[in-house]
Structure 1
Amino acid sequence: MNPPSTARTDLEAALGRYRCLFDQQVDDWDGFIETLLRPPPTWIWANPLRIDGSRLRALIAAEGIGAEPVPWLQPWWSSVARRLAGIGFEAAPEPAAASPIALRLPAGFKAGQRWWYCAGLAHAQEAVSQLPVMLLDVAPGQRVLDLCAAPGGKTAQLALALGNRGTLLANDFAVERIAALQGNLDRLGVLNCSTTRCDGGNYPAAAGAFDRILVDAPCSSEGTLRRNPSLVQPGGRGETGAGEGAGECVGIRAGSIDRRRVDRARAYAGIGPERSRRMAGRQRALLRKAVQLCRPGGRIVYSTCTFAPEENELIVADILDEHNGHLELLPCEVPGLVTGAGVTRWQGRQLDPSLARCLRLWPQANDTGGFFIAVLEKSTQASGVDDRAPVQPRHRHGFQLEADDDGWLRQLCDHYGLPASAWSNRRFHRQTRRGLHLVAADHCPPASPSPQGSGLFAYRTNIRPPKLTTGAALLLGAAATRQILELSGEQRDRYLRREPMRPDPEQIADCRPGQILVRHRGCTLGVAVLHRSGALESLFPSRWSGCTAGA
């Protein structure tokens, strides 16, 4: 069925200022608009710490859903899986290069409501949103900063690219955004990340220099219109100057833009040049700070999910000009992906030809959202944060255990039969009176800015009896040898909905009353309490309780 003509007219009015780009360097304006009027596919990736991509695909197929590989993402994900081989207890010991980690599912499929998503076996992330981390070229041993991290998909990618070892800092500006970020990192088993709460444009130099920095900047989000059509809604607060881009197009192709469309564009509050100009100051400050914090010879990726040159090429051009040859824009290519070149002329401003090296992802080309990526390399002769000055490590102030914490850990190991290998390359530390966190052994965040958290909150010791958190259960559950209950599909759903149940006596024959780990098809779901009566009480987090198979 064709979309309503009013929807198409509204969309063309709101985005009409980009018509000139299609006249000059991009194909298929009609296809662009038609693609934006269709809901996007659902994109996910298998967590290589937990599961092989082929096995995840089989779990999805068992639900009657086809999951297709994404070929142009596969080489990078295969390299990450090889890097992680043997680290995750549930990962395949020798990941096959052909195992499809990045997957495409039908439009409207709600991955977050599936049991395997709640178990941390997968994460939902738009396919083109996975490209910035791929192009950042992260390697183990590097010190990495994600300057605008929430909700955490790219942060998790960075953590995995580092082998879930070393030092990754994930920053955002709002408490609630950091909470969402930490929730995703815990579900996926990330141990090498500390979160910080700062205005990214003023991130303190005391944090030290970084080998790689990702600036996935806040933007007007035009590239997400397929998921967020409400961005184009008439009757909102008027945007001034909404026809300026259209005016330039008229100059190129006289009469190509109806004046009524320009007037209509002024009625959109969600998108438009005025909003883009308002975003630009913050974006420029973020990229400027990233260049300052980047180690000479290091790499920065700047990305947005908008089409607006004011938030993309013009930001990059300004920062290049400020650094007078000490910053190079690198060409980037993704084999198998149809990409567009960066804009080199906009609003009468002629940009350096090197801006064509930026990557533009137009929705109609690959059936994705819209995206922009620039890859920058800092000259080895450039100045910035003093790389010779030692960074004061956070662990000297807070990464330690208290006298009775060894007893808590012995109790944990005895209760679930956890082997000593469960702590390989990991260490516990106490951040709060609530309990113990688990972090990569070589993780070393700076003392400033003070982390909101480091690693994964693993074991609550301020309650009786103490309790393994759900995130830690997902991480360590596969190594447990005692207190394990395998659930059926119907029991799994009741557990995730926090509904009481009574397992069969055969299921609990090897479990004693108290806290137990529950699994489904060998995958840990979380913690429950087995009462002496034989009733099972779910301790699955209430904030996750919408995750039910087939919901």
Structure 2
Amino acid sequence: MNQRTARVSAASLLRPDQIAASWLARYRDLVDDWDAFAEALGRPLPVTLWANPGRISVAALTELLVEQGLSPQPIQGLPNALNLPPEFRAGQQWWYCVGLAHAQEAVSQLPVTLMDLKPGQRVLDMCAAPGGKTAQIAFALDNRGTVVANDISYARLKALQGNLDRLGVLNVTTTQSDASNWPSAGGQFDRILLDAPCSAEGTLRRHPSLLQRLDPSDAERFGSRQRALLRKAVQRCRPGGLILYSTCTFAPEENELVVADILAECDGRLRLRAIDIPGFDTAPGVTQWQGRVLPPELARCRRFWPHRNDTGGFFIALLEKDAGLSPEPEPELATLDGDGHDEWLEGLRSKYGLPEGYWCRYRVHRQTRRGLHLMAADHAPPAVPPAAGHGLFFHRTNVHPPKPTTSGALLIGPEVTRFRLELSRKQRDAYLRRETFAPTREQRAVHPPGQVIASYRGYALGIAILHRSGVIESQFPSRWSGQAAGTD
């Protein structure tokens, strides 16, 4: 980070007197140490990464970071995650650009760890963008089965799909819908995540300017919306299933009061589970607020105050639906075009030396005229609501010659035995900057002209073209290329 950026960042940090004079002062009696709380909100957050379990271990990621001169810190309670200094720019690193890791605030990683996820479960992420939690869910299910990731915003859904593609997620269908009206025809789910839209007070360490925009009406306005969403989550949850409700705000109107009202509506058909989060210092849910006394079980909710774990602010409630209720019928499944693709698949397998039977582990379909999408073999999305996308777009068939997408190249890269071009560090940086660069004499001797899968240190980077003229042309997508300079 350059000095100018550092000065701007330091100037934007909040001061304790600003916190004390703001809307947040109403939480003074809820916080165990107000001075520590106000001071914490004036410090930038650490950068937190998790290692993509399908591509790299946290130990190997740690080695890459140490080689860059960094000192990544393990996080107790999040064994797949690491903390780095606040000024670190994760999105500019080569390993981030090619999906070896994802940046996600520590407390935001916790909801998925509490959902008791196992392969074979059917999962709904109701307000899924930007997709970090969706990807966590997908990998907790071993990248198999069926996850439906919904968001109301088309633009946010596109950003979500970009993250899933970069990380190699194969078991997710995306839908664009108002989740409070999510249709019954879509069926019920074993697990539902509702990371609800909220006033976002807990994100002030990342967005200090939000303090000036906080409005006393926000909590009540969001609370009404959150009740509608949680009510729908209860309907769409299978008997015996779990609902994880979370927000990144301190407001009881958006947290405990929402949960208390839905529990009362359900009249015993829903119960709060106790939550245990080893390694994190949490506070119990609020049971009294502004004259309202809540049922004592609301203490089973967990609050995360920024000063206790050096995190943002967060709230979590884990709800279980009565297993004795009658389940709904299974939903009608989407009809997907899965025939007539053998020639394309065999051509791709043969060129890159993939093993016999490679495609049996996946479900292939044509979603658009551009090419083929890949899903987990047992992915079974519902017919309703209509999907925005199924799986991962992995092979372009509307170009000559056909070629894998970058996400497709990253996926098949570990098993490619032919047309794989290992790059030097300097070539890697040029590749990620989408530049044209010269191959070495050894590279020209080994590889004939045409498409190759570029790699660095054995990790696939994407597609490159080795031209007959003697240059390598990067095909790395501009929307993924956060790197502007060498970062090793």
Tell me whether the two structures share a fold, i.e. TM-score over 0.5.
Answer: yes
Going from structure 1 to structure 2, the CA distance change for 1:152 and 1:6 (only over 3 Å counts) comes to: closer
Partner of 2:3: none
Query: Alignment partner for residue 238 of structure 2, among 286, 295, 298?
Result: 295
SS in 1 for 2:267: coil
Any conservation in 2 of the 1:482–1:511 contact (CA below 8 Å)?
Answer: no
What is the one-letter code of the residue matched to 1:61?
V
What is the one-letter code of the residue matched to 2:42?
L
Query: Alignment partner for residue 398 of structure 1, among 333, 336, 360?
Result: 336
1:151-550 aligned within 5 A: 151-233=130-212, 269=213, 271-382=214-325, 386-387=327-328, 389-394=329-334, 397-402=335-340, 405-420=341-356, 422-548=358-484, 549-550=486-487
What is the one-letter code of the residue matched to 1:103?
L
**Deviating more after overlay: 12-21 vs 452-461:** 12-21
Going from structure 1 to structure 2, the CA distance change for 1:4 and 1:153 (only over 3 Å counts) comes to: closer
Tell me, in whole angstroms, the C-alpha distance in 1 between the residues paired with 2:360 and 2:195: 33
Any conservation in 2 of the 1:485–1:508 contact (CA below 8 Å)?
Answer: no
1:38-187 aligned within 5 A: 38-74=43-79, 101-187=80-166
When the two chains are superposed, the root-mean-square deviation of aligned CA atoms in Å is 1.7
Tell me, in whole angstroms, the C-alpha distance in 1 between the residues paired with 2:408 and 2:260: 45
What is the one-letter code of the residue matched to 2:69?
G
Query: Alignment partner for residue 33 of structure 1, among 29, 38, 45?
Result: 38
CA apart distance, 1:13:
1.9
What is the TM-score when the length of structure 1 is the normalising length?
0.84
CA apart distance, 1:193:
0.6
Tell me, in whole angstroms, the C-alpha distance in 2 between the residues paired with 1:55 and 1:302: 33
Any conservation in 2 of the 1:361–1:371 contact (CA below 8 Å)?
Answer: yes
Post-superposition Cα deviations, 1:236-259, rounded to whole Å, max 9, x if no partner, equal: xxxxxxxxxxxxxxxxxxxxxxxx
CA apart distance, 1:289:
0.3
Partner of 2:4: none
CA apart distance, 1:107:
1.2
SS in 2 for 1:506: helix
Tell me, in whole angstroms, the C-alpha distance in 2 between the residues paired with 1:370 and 1:158: 22
SS in 2 for 1:398: coil
Post-superposition Cα deviations, 1:332-377, rounded to whole Å, max 9, x if no partner, equal: 0111210001011112111111101001011100101110000000
What is the one-letter code of the residue matched to 1:13?
A
Tell me, in whole angstroms, the C-alpha distance in 2 between the residues paired with 1:61 and 1:449: 46
What is the one-letter code of the residue matched to 2:18?
D
**Long gaps (5+) in structure 2:** 1-6
- Count, aligned residues: 478
SS in 2 for 1:185: helix
What is the one-letter code of the residue matched to 1:7?
R
Partner of 2:26: 17
Tell me, in whole angstroms, the C-alpha distance in 2 between the residues paired with 1:471 and 1:6: 40
Post-superposition Cα deviations, 1:364-407, rounded to whole Å, max 9, x if no partner, equal: 00101110000000012346xx52x231111xx224123xx211
**Runs of at least 4 residues off by over 6 Å:** 1-6
Going from structure 1 to structure 2, the CA distance change for 1:371 and 1:5 (only over 3 Å counts) comes to: closer
Partner of 1:78: none
CA apart distance, 1:547:
2.8
Any conservation in 2 of the 1:3–1:37 contact (CA below 8 Å)?
Answer: no
What is the TM-score when the length of structure 2 is the normalising length?
0.95
SS in 1 for 2:460: strand
Post-superposition Cα deviations, 1:12-51, rounded to whole Å, max 9, x if no partner, equal: 22210100213xxxx2111111111000100001111001
What is the one-letter code of the residue matched to 1:121?
L
Tell me, in whole angstroms, the C-alpha distance in 1 between the residues paired with 2:292 and 2:357: 60
Tell me, in whole angstroms, the C-alpha distance in 2 between the residues paired with 1:406 and 1:497: 34
| Seq. identity, % | 59
Any conservation in 2 of the 1:167–1:445 contact (CA below 8 Å)?
Answer: yes
Going from structure 1 to structure 2, the CA distance change for 1:126 and 1:417 (only over 3 Å counts) comes to: same
Partner of 1:7: 15
SS in 1 for 2:135: helix
Any conservation in 1 of the 2:198–2:248 contact (CA below 8 Å)?
Answer: yes
Tell me, in whole angstroms, the C-alpha distance in 1 between the residues paired with 2:250 and 2:27: 8
Any conservation in 2 of the 1:69–1:104 contact (CA below 8 Å)?
Answer: yes
Any conservation in 1 of the 2:97–2:481 contact (CA below 8 Å)?
Answer: no
**Deviating more after overlay: 539-548 vs 481-490:** 539-548
**Long gaps (5+) in structure 1:** 75-100, 234-268
